Amino acid sequence: MNMQKLSNPFLVSIITKILILLVIAKVFSLLIWWFLPSDGVEL
Amino acid sequence: MVRLLYFLAYSLFFIFALLFFVPKVSLYHYAEKELQKQKLVFSNEEAIDRPFALTLRDIDVSYDSIESAKVENAEIELFVFFNHIGIENIELSDMAASFLPLKIENLDIKYTLLNPLKVFATSKGEFGEASATVNILDKNVSVLLVPSDLMKKKYSKTLRNLKKNAEGGYEYAKTF
């Protein structure tokens, strides 16, 4: 029964999309981290 | 209709994921460098990256190389649709002592996309209570100050520069 639920194409599609969005967000944040300064301003 | 709902749900999820992952301290350092061009420098602070906020502790604020204020704690929450900056325990430099009481308990700045042309701020301190509205389109600031007894007694000169309204508050407006 549980295996049937896991292989539900609708659920798999949603989980895949969520994972793809998470990866895109992480890559985007890494790019921001790469290009922005790592230290601030001091007097 | 269902597709649109899915699209909105995925978009919201993506925005929150991005807000979660984005390096807030790096963004803050970038903002610091931009503010430095306007002669405003934040130094000696501790920046803490939190899942949906940035916390700053013990900030020394200088303007034009003159130490202007010390801030104990600031919390920056940017959710795109609703943005909030909460600042607690501000102590102004002694230079301001002739114009204002030096201790400010809190300053809250709010910006929401429901009202995209206005920024709202409220503050409470030894000076009393103040609320301000910045109109981005008209480029003006209006401040309503309800002064404390200390402000009325010791800083009446400052209050004379403001316009008194019928309710006993003081108004200030400036275009930038």
Res A6: pLDDT: 61
- Nearest-CA neighbor of B28 among B74, B89, B69, B80? B74
| Contact call for residues B52 and B19 (beta carbons, < 8 A) | yes
pLDDT of B71-114, one tens digit each? 999 999 988 889 999 999 999 999 888 888 999 999 999 999 99
* Total of domains in chain B: 1
The minimum CA-CA distance between B157 and chain A, rounded to whole Å, is 33
Q: Is residue A39 classed as helix, strand or coil in its secondary structure?
A: coil
Please give the model's pTM, rounded to 2 decimal places.
0.85
Q: Could you tell me if B10 lies within 8 Å of chain A, comparing CB atoms?
A: yes
Round to whole Å and give the CA distance between B79 and B76: 10
Distances (CA, A) of B53 to A1, A7, B24, B80: 42, 37, 8, 12
Cβ-nearest to A41 among B18, B27, B36: B36
- DSSP output for B66-103: EEEEEEEEEEEEE-SSEEEEEEEEEEE-GGGGGTS-SE
Token couple for B168: 């006993």
Q: Do B44 and A42 touch (CB under 8 A)?
A: yes
Which residues in chain A are closer than 8 Å to B23, comparing Cβ atoms?
29, 32-33, 36
pLDDT digits (tens, 9 = 90+) for A10-42: 889 999 999 999 999 999 999 999 999 988 887
What ipTM score was computed for the predicted complex, to two decimals?
0.84
Structural domain including B23 reads 2-175
